[in-house]
Structures are given as C-alpha cells and as structure tokens.
C-alpha cells in the first residue's frame, strides 16, 4: 500500500521501454538490425526507470502525508473513513466482529489553558504514542480530531476491548507530563454487527458510551459509611 506509486511508476517505465523495443524490432526486422532495437529499448529504460521511479516515490510521499495526521503521525480521519469500509466488508463476508473505539483525553482543556498549547500538543503526541504502543493485535489507531482518537479493532470482542482499555489506562498513567499533571482517557466502544451495520451507526454508539464513561469519571465517589 505504501509503495503503490513507486511500483506503478516502474511498471510504466517497463511497459514504455518494452513498447519502444518491440516497435524498433518490428521496423528493423527485415534489415536484420534487431540488436540495435534492443539497445535502443535499453537506452529508453535507463532514462525512464529513474524518472518514473522518482515520480512514483513522490506520489507515495504525498499519499502518506495525505493519510497521516501532521502532529502525531497517526492515520487521520479521512483515512479512517476509507479504511472502515473495507473492514466492514471483510467482517460481513467472514461473519466476524469489528470494534470501533473512541478515546477522549480527560480534562485536556486544563493542560492547554494552564500550561499552554505547546504543552497541549506535546501531551497529544505522547497520548498518540501510548495508543500505538497499546495496539499490539493489529488495531488501527487514528487521530479523530482535537484530543479524540479512534481505534479500529478487527474481530475484537468486548473482553478484548476491555483489555485494550486497561492497557491504554496504564500507559496514560505513566506519561511524563509537567507540573504534576496526570493523563487519563475516557473510552467508548461499539461492536459490529450488534451495535450497528454502518460506520455512522457504530461511531454514534461508541460516542454515546464515551460520554457516559466521561460523566461517570467526573462524578465524585460516594462517601463510605462507617459501620456502627
């Protein structure tokens, strides 16, 4: 996927060089100058392969930039929308499950307001690295926007999603933030097919559970009663 432009460029160069050689062979066959035509094709190949290869690499670089978030290097929102279409088709064909997980950093506004946007960007980058480090079973980690992230977990069930959330919590807890701040995140997930058949339905279900989780995190614990 990452070298599609390069491979296309090299294939184009090969086709053009071959076409030039065959044309030369056809024109010079009667005059027994076939070897000259082969050298002519080789000359074209020496010119075309570097040119088309360079153009292909440039295409690959631009494509990667278009699919990646500039701050974190994670896959971006537009890539997630395209990727989930294929994942849902695979899950449907194989009768498997797919988990869509939304992650939102708790109290991130305090970091921005009290420590500044540069420290906020640093916190988001560290959170992105923690999410990638937690994705050890093929999960696709995307930046959804702001301080929100999206994880696409092929064939994950509820137990695996809970284990993933636990791993994320542990990594977030040990992020080296300044001034004694500690990072935490709220999580909401939805599963194909029981929570929806489309990405829109799944992301809406995950979003509802995310904010339920965030409200629970903000509720103070009930005071413990002393036994008489």
Please return the burial class of 94, using the count of CB atoms within 10 Å of its CB with bins 0-12, 13-18 and 19+. exposed
Q: Is 147 a catalytic residue?
A: yes
Strand partners of residue 145: 148
Question: Please, what are the domains in the chain?
Answer: 4-67 (no CATH), 77-218 (3.30.70.270)
Span 98-109, pLDDT tens digits: 999 999 999 888
Q: What percent of the chain has pLDDT over 70?
A: 65
What is the reported pLDDT for 225?
A: 40
Return d(Cα 95, Cα 57) in angstroms, integer: 38
Q: What is the dihedral of CA 154, 100, 169, 146, to 10 degrees?
A: 130
Q: Which of 147, 169, 207, 212 is catalytic?
A: 147
Predicted TM-score of the model (pTM) = 0.69
Span 1-57, pLDDT tens digits: 556 655 664 555 455 555 455 455 545 554 454 455 555 555 545 555 555 455 545
Mean pLDDT of 206-222: 77
Span 127-143, pLDDT tens digits: 999 999 999 888 999 99
Residue count of the chain, please give it: 228
What is the reported pLDDT for 174?
A: 82
Return d(Cα 40, Cα 26) in angstroms, integer: 13
């Amino acid at each position: 996927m990452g070298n599609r432009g390069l491979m296309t460029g090299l294939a184009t160069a090969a086709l053009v060089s071959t076409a030039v050689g065959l044309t030369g062979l056809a024109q010079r066959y009667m005059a027994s100058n076939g070897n000259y035509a082969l050298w002519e094709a080789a000359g074209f190949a020496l010119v075309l392969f570097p040119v088309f290869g360079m153009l292909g690499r440039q295409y690959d670089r631009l494509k990667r930039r278009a699919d990646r978030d500039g701050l974190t290097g994670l896959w971006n929102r537009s890539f997630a929308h395209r990727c989930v279409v294929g994942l849902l088709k695979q899950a449907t064909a194989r009768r498997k499950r797919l988990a869509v997980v939304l992650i939102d950093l708790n109290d991130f506004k305090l970091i921005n307001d009290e420590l500044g946007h540069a420290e906020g960007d640093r916190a988001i980058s560290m959170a992105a690295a923690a999410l990638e480090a937690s994705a050890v079973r093929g999960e696709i980690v995307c930046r959804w926007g702001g301080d929100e992230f999206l994880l696409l977990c092929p064939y994950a069930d509820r137990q695996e999603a809970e284990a993933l959330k636990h791993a994320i919590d542990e990594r977030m807890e040990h992020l080296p933030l300044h001034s004694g701040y500690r990072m935490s995140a709220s999580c909401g997930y939805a599963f194909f097919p029981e929570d929806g058949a489309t990405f829109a339905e799944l992301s809406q279900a995950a979003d509802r559970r995310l904010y339920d989780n965030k409200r629970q995190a903000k509720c103070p614990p009930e005071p413990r009663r002393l036994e008489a």
